[in-house]
A and B are shown apart, each in its own frame.
Chain A
Amino acid sequence: MSDTDKKVDLNQEPEEKLWAYMAEFDSADDVIHAAEKVRDAGFTKWDVHTPFPVHGLDKAMGVRPTILPWLVLAGGLTGMTTAIVLQWYTNMVEGPWDFSGYAFKISGKPNSLVGLPAMVPVIFELTVLFSALTAVFGSLALNGLPRHYFAAWRNRRFDRATSDRFCVVIEADDPQAGKAKALLAGLGGRGEVEELHDTTKSDALPKGIKWAIISMVLLSWIPFAMILRKRYTPSESPPIHVVPNMDWQQKFKPQSPSTIFDDGRAMRLPVAGAVARGSLDHVDANGHDAFSSGKNADGSFLQMMPIDATDKLMARGQRQYNIYCIACHGQLGEGDGLVSQRAFALQEANWIQPSKLSTDPLIHAREDGYIFDAITNGIRTMKGYGAQLSAEDRWAIVLWVRALQSSRLRDIDTLPKDIQAKLRGN
């Protein structure tokens, strides 16, 4: 076959051919009776066109129930699975790969499928959404919609099938088409039985539209291709900020300079005479605070701690010591904390060994206020912890240091008798 034969010549009149026979009826009841006759006569390629769903016609025509409900069920199950997988992956799984999920830890809610109740709303919504989409697009697809051409539309009588007429249409390629015209004529419809014609080329999609669709599909890939390209192109330039006011805010960071104030700093100092909360709690009549300074009014160290040594205070002291001091002074106060061990391992020339708080008799002999002062203001190369620890906590640590010392340096004979017996193991 040559190329020219295949092409449809647009100038040539298209070839007309008989497509179907049509009978028209006034009322729904009439068309039901007619449909029953056509069905009984054994036609297969036929349909009834009505302006609204005529109940009883399905039975009269012998239309079998559609599979749509099953499709919708499948759609719904897909939606449900999608929702579960989506929430599980994005909120509970995390790893070093691209597009990894992010394991949220929110208000102690279980971060696994045990947390299912909180996922129910989205599961429900997606189940409904997927089912509904299947119902709509499934029914359209089963109905062959969208379609741009239907042969009967060429006949003006058929126009009223969508407003007030009921039409039975039997196609000409039905095996029994020969009997069709006579049968329809005998059904008592209105007017003549109409012969519907079709042409050989009329159902072709117009060329322009076809190419428009194809090019639109192709063009729609361009943005995706561009995104993909960008993802795999390394770049030195900073990320694009559409609105940069989150990263670059009009505010001063701590310790930064400013031209607004005379002293050139952005941070403000407390006004003269401001006192911290609770700092006046232990001040005596002369304005001296032995509790927070660890010193007497004449500047000498307090011999005894100004707070009752209770079990509770001891426990507190142990806890705070283990947080603040253990790293250098070691668990038992022997000056062998991990920081120190590491410094020696690295042979740090400037490292000075932390004092042996529990075994150095000199420290054992010092006043409580001395240790307190060392914690508060630091001593020689050690930094002070006054800013981190409250006065009460510092006294608690002093108590704990004293306890550590007792465990090492105290003569066993100075202990109460029952404890001596216990320690000697008899």
Chain B
Amino acid sequence: MTTLDPSHASEAFKEFRPPLLDGKNDYKTITDQICGVPEWSHSETPKAWYIAFTIAVSMLGMLGAMIAWLFWMGVGVWGNNNPAFWGWPIVNFVFWVGIGHAGTLISAILFLFRQKWRTSINRFAEAMTIFAVACAAIFPGIHVGRPWVAYWLFPIPNQMDMWPQFRSPLLWDVFAVSTYATVSLLFWYLGMIPDLATIRDRATTPVRRFLYGLFAMGWNGSNRQWHRFERAYLLLAALATPLVLSVHSVVSFDFAVAQLPGWHTTIFPPYFVAGAIFSGFAMVVSLAVPARQFFGMKNLITMRHLEAMNKVILATSMMVGYAYLTELFIAWYGGNPYERFAFLNRVMGNYSWAYWSMFSCNVIFPQLFWFKKIRRSIPLMMIICVLVNVGMWFERFVITVTSLSRDFVPSSWGYFTPTLIDALTFIGSFGLFFTLFLLFCRWLPMVAVAEVKADMPRDEAAVKGA
């Protein structure tokens, strides 16, 4: 295992690498701090959590009501219509899947790159990933028009001898997204088993001991267990890395494989992946800032963590900006009149307001992160990260709607107008996301306890004496 051992990083690094955590921490304080949260009594739980949870659950209820209304009435309740048959549902799907990329990126790619700072944020970034993918999965499911036969998406033997068509990108999507959801969930859960065991062993009530014990599955921290656990974790990281890159590539095929001007471009896979990482990190920051505040994790999720994430946001913002400019250049240079028109229409047509919202939120505002002061300012980073998420939603809107509403034949042109139901469904999906996220923060170890401990300086962190 020596080659994979991050604690063997050369001594020289310690000289100029600042410590990962703030303040004086040892194994016990870390355990108490993180595992203490699920042990909070009702009175210890901050009021803010109850308020936030109430709001989130109400929004979730609204989502349920909107979906029920949709099933009852049919997709006509949405703004989707000829020619923009892919309206908000697909925009929202791509938006949420994109957000769901940061978690696995942090836990897998940063793990392979030995970025130790990931240990403080990977657990809840992974949780965020799973919840975002859950939100994403809703939209294509309810978009199929006859959701009660949505199982036709899967190759299930049936009396009609009817099978999915495996040469369609929409089907690739089914496989990519469901594989991603499964692997992310397993990765998250596997990593959490030792921490659940820690909570089990600290439990003061039999109910807690039983429930956490159930999900800890009998982990006892033996070194032979750790040995296989780490191997499995490493293998999962190595598997999840190409997976995370494949998922948004496949999502981009939904567009790129079609002939529609504005969709039919080879740049889509890398461009989508960069955008996904970009929006995912922005979401992690916008969640990490309040979470570290309310759950008292400031010493674990430090300003250095936030700054590092802001740097990733800055870098991916420039990649996304580069993709936008390349697209425009190729539209001109490629000489295809339809393609040229599609892009001129995006920039100057009747959706230019959406294009420029996207461009400014995704490319211009994040440039402020060049300044260290701004990178380290809580309010400013919150504003920029929220703007990035707004911008990334607009990116998917621009791609989906402007292309569909202006295809080859002018007689089929149109203008897409969403309905109130569209908007409330989208807002409701945030309800699902925040409900799950708040439950997670409250009842599960929000920071990877064992991983943080493994990266602490060994002699300083040991608990000597009583």
Tell whether, in the assembled complex, residue A140 and residue B217 are in contact, meaning their CB atoms are under 8 Å apart: yes
Across-interface contacts of A56 in B (CB, < 8 A): 5
Interface residues of A in 48-101 (CB under 8 A from B): 48-58, 61, 63, 65-66, 68-69, 72, 86-87, 90-91, 98-101
Q: Point out the residues of chain A lying under 8 angstroms from B253, CB to CB.
A: 121
Whole-angstrom distance between the Cβ of A223 and the nearest chain B Cβ? 14
Contact A129-B235, Cβ < 8 Å, known A49-B223, A91-B163, A91-B167: no
Q: Is B221 an interface residue (CB 8 A)?
A: yes
Known: A102-B163, A138-B232. A55 touches B8 (CB 8 A): yes
CB B449 to nearest CB in A, in angstroms, measures 8
- Please state if B235 and A131 are interface contacts (CB–CB under 8 Å): yes
Interface string of B190-229 (1 = CB under 8 A from A): 1001100110111000000000000001111111111111
Q: Mark A210-239, 1 if CB is under 8 A from B, else 0.
A: 000000000000000000000100000000
Q: Is there contact, CB below 8 Å, between B197 and A102?
A: no
Decide yes or no: A128 and B239 within 8 Å by CB, A26-B463, A63-B224, A101-B163 being known contacts: yes
User: Is B157 in the interface zone, CB < 8 Å from A?
Assistant: yes
Give Cα distance in the complex from A128 to B463, angstroms: 41
A162 at the interface (CB under 8 A from B): yes
Name A26's closest neighbour in chain B (CB-CB): B462
Q: At the interface, yes or no: A377 with Cβ under 8 Å from chain B?
A: no
User: Which residues of A have CB within 8 Å of B157?
Assistant: 99
Interface of chain B: mostly helix, strand, loop or mixed: helix
Chain B residues, Cβ within 8 Å of A126: 175, 179
State whether A164 touches B231 (Cβ < 8 A): no
Q: Is B230 an interface residue (CB 8 A)?
A: yes
Are A135 and B171 also in contact (CB < 8 A) when A50-B221, A163-B201 are?
no
Given contacts A47-B224, A145-B218, contact A52 B453 (CB under 8 A): yes
> Which of A54, A143, A164 is within 8 Å of B224, CB to CB?
A143
**Could you tell me if B183 and A27 are in contact, using CB atoms closer than 8 angstroms?**
no
Partner of A164, one of B167, B186, B243, B463: B463
From A26, A52, A69, A136, contact of B450 by CB (8 A)? A52
Instruction: List the A side residues contacting B26 at CB < 8 Å.
Output: 164
Contacts of A54 in B (CB 8 A): 223, 226, 454
- Contacting B198 at CB < 8 Å: which of A28, A51, A152? A51
A27 touches B458 (CB 8 A): yes
Contact assessment for B175 and A121 in the assembled complex, using a CB-CB cutoff below 8 Å: yes
* Minimum Cβ distance to chain A for residue B223 (Å): 4
A277 to chain B, nearest CB (A): 16
Binds B, one of A8-16, A153-161, A383-391, A412-420: A153-161
Decide if A147 is an interface residue (CB 8 Å cutoff). yes
- Is B1 positioned at the interface, with any CB of A under 8 Å from its CB? yes
Q: How large is the interface on B (under 10, 10 to 19, 20 to 34, 35 or more residues)?
A: 35 or more
Are B236 and A50 in contact, CB atoms less than 8 angstroms apart? no
- On whether the beta carbons of B240 and A132 are closer than 8 Å, the reply is yes
Give the docked Cα–Cα distance between A6 and B137 (Å). Answer: 54
Q: A118–B5 Cα gap in the complex (Å)?
A: 40
| Contacts A51-B450, A124-B246, A135-B239; A163 near B220 (Cβ below 8 A) | no
A126–B222 CA distance with the chains assembled, in angstroms: 32
Give the chain B neighbours of A159 by CB distance below 8 A. Answer: 201-202
Asked if A50 and B166 make an inter-chain contact with CB atoms under 8 angstroms apart, the answer reads: no
A124 to chain B, nearest CB (A): 6
A119 at the interface (CB under 8 A from B): yes
Determine the distance from Cα of A162 to Cα of B30 in the docked complex, in whole angstroms. Answer: 12
Contact of B186 among A35, A53, A98, A133 (CB under 8 A): A133
Q: How far is the CB of B73 from chain A (nearest CB, A)?
A: 12
A30, B464: Cα distance in complex, Å:
12
- Bound form: Cα–Cα A135–B186 in Å: 10
Q: Mark B32-72, 1 if CB is under 8 A from A, else 0.
A: 00010000000000000000000000000000000000000
Q: Which residues of A contact B419 (CB under 8 A)?
A: none
Interface string of A259-303 (1 = CB under 8 A from B): 000000000000000000000000000000000000000000000
Q: Does B409 contact A (CB under 8 A)?
A: no
Q: Among the listed A29, A118, A128, which residue makes an inter-chain contact with B242, where contact means beta carbons less than 8 Å apart?
A: A128
Closest to A79 in B: B179
Q: Are A58 and B218 in contact (CB under 8 A)?
A: no
**Given the contacts A51-B453, A52-B454, A58 and B1 also touching, CB distance less than 8 Å:** yes
Chain A residues lying within 8 Å of B1, measured Cβ to Cβ, are: 55, 58
Does A173 count as interface, using CB distance less than 8 angstroms?
Answer: no
Which of B148, B168, B229 contacts A53 (CB under 8 A)?
B229
Query: How many angstroms from the CA of A127 to the CA of B8 in the assembled complex?
Result: 33
Residues of the A chain whose Cβ atoms lie less than 8 Å from the Cβ of B232: 68, 135-136, 138-139
Do A102 and B161 contact each other (CB < 8 Å), given the known contacts A91-B166, A128-B183, A136-B186? yes
Which chain B positions have C-beta within 8 A of A119? 166-167
- Which residues from chain B contact A254 at a C-beta distance below 8 Å? none
The CA of A200 and the CA of B219, in the complex, are separated in Å by: 22
Contact (A153, B458) CB under 8 Å given A53-B226, A128-B243: no
In the complex, the answer to whether B166 meets A49 with C-beta atoms within 8 Å is no
What distance in Å separates the Cβ of B270 from its nearest Cβ neighbour in chain A? Answer: 16
- Which residues of chain B have C-beta atoms less than 8 A from A144's C-beta? 218
Residues of chain B contacted by A150 (CB below 8 angstroms): 218, 220
A51 CA to B183 CA, complexed, in Å: 25
Q: Are B223 and A57 in contact (CB under 8 A)?
A: yes
In the complex, whether A242 has a CB less than 8 A from a CB of chain B is yes
Residue numbers in A under 8 Å from B190 (CB-CB) = 136, 139
Q: How far apart are the CA atoms of A87 and B190 in the complex, in Å?
A: 31
Contact assessment for A90 and B229 in the assembled complex, using a CB-CB cutoff below 8 Å:
no
Complex contact B167–A109 (CB within 8 A): yes
User: Does any Cβ of A come within 8 Å of B12's Cβ?
Assistant: no
In the complex, B164 has a CB within 8 A of chain A: yes
Q: Across the interface, which residues of B come within 8 angstroms of A149, CB to CB?
A: 218
Residues of B within 8 A of A35 (CB): 223
User: Do the beta carbons of A66 and B227 come within 8 Å of each other?
Assistant: yes
In the complex, which residues of chain A have a beta carbon less than 8 angstroms from the beta carbon of B235? Answer: 68-69, 72, 131, 135
B contact residues around A72 at 8 Å (CB): 235
Complex Cα distance A246/B148, Å? 13
Interface check B459, CB cutoff 8 A: yes
Q: Which of B165-196 contact A (CB under 8 A)?
A: 165-169, 171-172, 175-176, 179, 182-183, 186-187, 189-190, 193-194
Min CB distance, A90 to chain B, in Å?
4
Q: State whether A145 touches B217 (Cβ < 8 A).
A: yes
Asked if A362 CB lies within 8 Å of chain B CBs, one says no
Judging by beta carbons under 8 Å apart, are B176 and A121 in contact?
yes
Interface-centre pick from A50, A53, A57, A100 (highest chain B CB count, 10 A): A53
A323-360 vs B, Cβ < 8 Å mask (1 yes, 0 no): 00000000000000000000000000000000000000
Which 8 A-B pairs give the minimum distances between C-beta atoms? A27-B462, A139-B232, A147-B218, A164-B27, A146-B217, A90-B163, A121-B172, A52-B450
* Known pairs A56-B5, A243-B146 / 13 extra A-B pairs, C-beta < 8 Å: A26-B464, A29-B459, A30-B462, A53-B450, A69-B235, A126-B175, A128-B246, A132-B183, A136-B189, A143-B224, A159-B202, A163-B31, A163-B198
**Could you name 27 residue pairs across A and B whose Cβ atoms are closer than 8 Å?**
A27-B464, A47-B223, A52-B449, A52-B454, A55-B1, A58-B227, A90-B155, A98-B161, A102-B161, A106-B167, A121-B175, A122-B175, A125-B175, A128-B239, A128-B243, A129-B183, A132-B183, A135-B239, A136-B186, A136-B232, A147-B217, A160-B201, A161-B201, A162-B221, A163-B198, A164-B28, A164-B462
